[in-house]
Amino acid sequence: MTKIAILELQHVNKKYKTAQVIDDVSLVIDEPGIWALVGPNGVGKTTLLNGICNIIPFNSGKVELLGQPNDNYTVFKHVSFLQDNTVLFHYLSGYDHLKYVCDVHGLPKKRIKEVAAYVGMTGYLEKKVGDYSLGMKQHLLLAISIVNQPKLLFMDEPLTGLDPSSAILVRKILLDLEKQGTTIILSSHNLAEIDRVTNQILFLKNGKIIEVDRENHMETHYIFKLSDKLSGKQLLMASGYSIQEENGAIKVTINESGIDKCIKSIQDNGISILDIQKEVTGSEKLYEETFGKRE
Amino acid sequence: MKSIQYEWKKLWKSKAYIALIVITMLIIAGLFYRNVVYQDIVKSEKIETVQSQSTWIVSYLSRDRELLKETGEGSNPDLEESIALGSQLNGKLQDLLAAIQEDEHITALHVENDVYALAMQYQTMSDNKSYPISKVEMEDEITLNNELLKKKLPKEDLGASIQPAVFMKQVVQYLFNTFGFFIVIVVIGTPIVREFDDNTIKLTYGLPVSPVRMIMTKWISITLSGICWFVIALLSAYAISTIFGTEETNPYDYPFFTEKMAFITAGDYLQQSIILGIFYLLLLMSLFVFLSFLIKNTLVVHITLLILFVCNYIVIRSGIIFPFLPWVYQELDAATLQSNGISWTGFLLMIVFTGVLLLLAIRASKRREYRR
């Protein structure tokens, strides 16, 4: 049996007057996960996502979502699109929006409260959207897009306007959804945030999706909080690790295969590890290589 | 059904619709108050008209009497007969004046008929004397008075009455016309077409909503809103005129002249107006939904509608009214008075046109290109 692609683009094109915004893009995503669509402003990320979700038509080409053409409206029972906040009615409340979306999906009313609590907007659910801050609107858009527990989720700049705690919450939700098997394709400018949620990046340049050899550019760091920072630092330096001090913690650049040895070496010297966090970086370097460094 | 509720909510929460209803009720209340104030003016105008007729006849009488004095009695029998008839007419005009002043409405109708009968006779006798009212007008008045006498109803001024049925006709005439319907469609329809300008339509586009469901939901919700406005306007007119207006035993029997100079009772007139008005709203709302999804721009849709309304108005006013064409109901009063009962052809055409416009709207909704 042939495996059904989660997303398949075949030679899609989009032209606005003389500008070729999307130029013969083909893409197949057949493994669940989080994918980041990255590119500078105006490169066509939103146009690509709008075209994929049949919000605007492509001039040519074919789009299939979960094995069905994107102009089959029923596919959107399992596919969601987090759009920009202009899609919200400023004179309606968050509850009104969620109720409408739940009604369209045939979901019970209790789902509204569940999803509102999940994205942390219970406190202002009944307020008019016109009174919402940018971050609150993002929360509502997120709630709208996940209320139906989609199999495929497109997100256009989901981190725009979020304060750090909201950004952490959104990151947690994205990772939760990924664990539940949802494939997420998100566009974002925030490369550091992208590094935290995915290692699968699609660059959009001159209307084309560019495949990049990301593995060679990725750096994995582990941030340790130790019971004895000074001894730990000396130990790691003596063992030849590349380290940096960061907010009272020690950041060690090391690949995944070497982390167990590093941890063992710390513990063998009687130093307790209070906390350990993984951080992957490298998108920024890749971005600069792809699009050039802005002077 | 739930989606219709959502569309309703959007309309209600945009506040323009509530403002429309409140303004409509205020206009009706204002119109009724104006009519109340006008009651004395109407009476004094009637008195003035009768007095002017009396002045006219008196001047001829005195001239004829002078002439008779010069020629001598018995020399001109026609002149003598004319003087006798003129005196009789003047006497009846004085009786009419008294009946109006005493508010003896039924007596006034009888006397008015006598006045016109004598006036026509008087005019026939001497062609060079033109009575202030034409023969045709007098004949029409006699026909109306006889109809009113049959129903024992006083004569009303159609432009300033506080009799419930007549006041409701005035509301139909003043509100359910080109201007009224245009304002209503702009207020009720704008939230729908504005979704294209502010991008909110993209929320629905990203959901599993079929084009048929999307169009029908919008059409049903704005049609219901339009009908709701229509009914509220009529109920307000009914309530205010029934509570504060004149009391008659059978106000809805009041006769109105149709375009063919036959009579239609106020009850039949209102019944037909309501049915034709609802026909028109169904058609108008489908036209608006179609234009919205075709043009996708608020200002251009409004300008297009305005052009269509004005052209239709010019055609109707130039007298080209085919009562079976549903768009002539844009001038509801004229269309009702023109139509001879509810036209089944009109009903069928309305269904066909509405259906075609909705199908075109569904087709247009699949074309999702709009401003970047």
What digits encode the pLDDT tens for the residues A221-253?
888 888 888 888 888 888 888 888 877 888 888
Contact assignment for B370 to A56 by CB distance below 8 Å: yes
Does A280 score more than 80 pLDDT? Answer: no
Q: Which single residue is written with the structure tokens 């402003």?
A: A41
pLDDT of amino acid A123: 92
Name the least confident of A276-285, B25-34, B216-225: A276-285
Partner A contacted by B8 (CB < 8 A): no
Asked if the Cβ–Cβ distance from A73 to B210 is below 8 Å, we say yes
Please indicate, yes or no, if residue B372 is contained in any of the structural domains. no
Whole-number Cα distances in Å, A23 to A16, A43, A211, A292: 12, 11, 15, 20
Q: Which of B120, B151, B182 is where one domain is finished?
A: B151
Do the Cβ atoms of A80 and B206 come closer than 8 Å? yes
B202, B367, B368 member nearest A87 (Cβ):
B202
The CA distance from B371 to B44, in Å, is: 62
Domain count, chain B: 2
B330 falls within a domain: yes
B260 and B220 together in one domain: yes
Q: How far is A79 from chain B (nearest CA, A)?
A: 8
For residue B138, is it within any domain? yes
Same-domain pairing of B109 and B193: no
Shared-domain flag, residues B129 and B199? no
**One domain, residues B24 and B65:** no
Considering only the beta carbons, identify the residue of B200, B205, B211 that sits closest to A89: B200
- Structure confidence at residue B372 as a pLDDT band (50, 70, 90): very low
Handedness of CA A179, A180, A185, A188 (dihedral sign): negative
**A184 and A35 Cβ atoms separated by less than 8 Å:** yes
Average pLDDT over residues A37-63: 90
Cα dihedral B330, B331, B332, B338, rounded to 10, equals: -120
Residue with tokens 């107006």: B273
- Specify whether domain A7-215 bears CATH 3.40.50.300: yes
Counting runs of H as helices and runs of E as strands, what totals does chain B give? 13, 2
pLDDT for B235 equals 97
pLDDT at B82: 83
Question: Hey, which bits of chain B come out as E strands?
Answer: 255-257, 263-265
- A264, A239, A236, A270: which is closest to A252 by C-alpha? A236
| pLDDT at B370 (0 to 100) | 53
B337 phi, psi to nearest 5 deg: -70, -25
Q: Are both B261 and B116 inside the same structural domain?
A: no
For chain A, domain boundaries: 7-215, 220-281
How confident is the prediction for chain A on average, in pLDDT? Answer: 87
Expressed in percent and rounded to 5, the helix, strand and coil fractions of chain B are 80, 0, 20
B371 lies in some domain: no
Give the per-residue pLDDT at A1.
56
Subunit contact A57:B368, Cβ cutoff 8 A: yes
Residue A86: which of B9, B198, B369 has the nearest Cβ?
B198
Residue with tokens 């006013």: B317
Q: How confident is the model at residue B369 (pLDDT cuts 50, 70, 90)?
A: low
With an 8 Å Cβ cutoff, is A77 touching chain B?
A: yes
Report the distance separating Cα A275 and Cα A77, nearest Å: 41
- Cα distances (angstroms) measured from residue B292 to each of A59, A145, B288: 23, 27, 6
Same domain membership, residue B111 and residue B81: yes
Order across the sheet with A219-226: list the strands: A242-246, A249-253, A219-226, A273-281
Give the pLDDT band of residue A167 (cuts 50, 70, 90): confident
Q: In this complex, is the C-beta atom of A73 within 8 Å of any C-beta atom belonging to chain B?
A: yes
Q: Which residues of B30-56 are buried (b: 16+ CB within 10 A; e: fewer)?
A: ebbeebeebeeebeeebeeebeebbeb
* pLDDT of A290 over the 80 cut: no
Task: State which of B151, B176, B206 marks the end of a domain.
Answer: B151
Determine contact, residues B342/B279, Cβ cutoff 8 Å: no
For A220-281, CATH gives 3.30.70.100
Same domain, B196 and B289: yes
**Residue B122 domain-assigned?**
yes
Is the interface score ipTM higher than 0.85? no
Contact of A55 with B367, CB cutoff 8 Å: no
DSSP string, B234-261: HHHHHHHHHHHS---S-GGG-EEE-TTS
* pLDDT of res. B127: 65
The answer to whether B134 contacts chain A (CB < 8 Å) is: no
B29 with B110, same domain?
no
Does any domain span residue B134? yes
Distance from CA of B44 to the nearest CA of A (A): 53
Q: Residue B362: list chain A partners with CB under 8 A.
A: none
The verdict on a CB contact (< 8 Å) between B10 and A99 is no
Q: Are residues B200 and B299 in the same domain?
A: yes
Give how far A194 is from chain B: nearest CA, Å.
24
Same fold across A7-215 and A220-281: no
pLDDT at A194: 80
Exposed (0-12), middle (13-18) or buried (19+): which is B234, by Cβ within 10 Å? buried
Per-residue model confidence (pLDDT) at position A293: 59
| Cβ atoms of A136 and A124 closer than 8 Å | yes
Asked whether residue B184 falls in the same domain as residue B255, the answer is yes
Distance CA(B155)–CA(B45), nearest Å, equals 14
| Closest by CA position to B21, among listed B142, B29, B322 | B29
Looking at residue A269, its pLDDT comes to 86
Cα first-last separation, chain A: 52
For residue B46, what are the domain limits? 41-151
Among residues B138, B144, B157, which one has the least CA distance to residue B53?
B138
pLDDT recorded at residue A239: 84
Report pLDDT for A212.
66
* Residue that terminates a domain, selected from B88, B118, B151: B151
Instruction: Tell me which chain A residues have a C-beta less than 8 angstroms from the C-beta of B369.
Output: 56-57
What's the pLDDT tens digit per position in B94-103? 999 999 998 8
Among A74-78, A207-211, B140-144, B269-273, the minimum mean pLDDT is found in A207-211
Assess if residue B211 is contained within a domain. yes
Partner-chain contact A103 B6, CB within 8 Å: yes
Task: Check CB contact under 8 Å for A55 and B205.
Answer: yes
Within 8 A of B6 by CB-CB distance, chain A residues are 96, 99-100, 103
Asked whether the beta carbons of residue B369 and residue A103 sit closer than 8 angstroms, the reply is no
Lowest mean pLDDT segment, chosen from A12-26, A159-173, A181-195, B119-133: B119-133
Q: Give the angle B264-B268-B270 at the CA atoms, nearest 5°.
A: 110
Chain A: give the shortest CA distance to residue B152, in Å: 55
Distance CA A292, CA A286 (A): 9
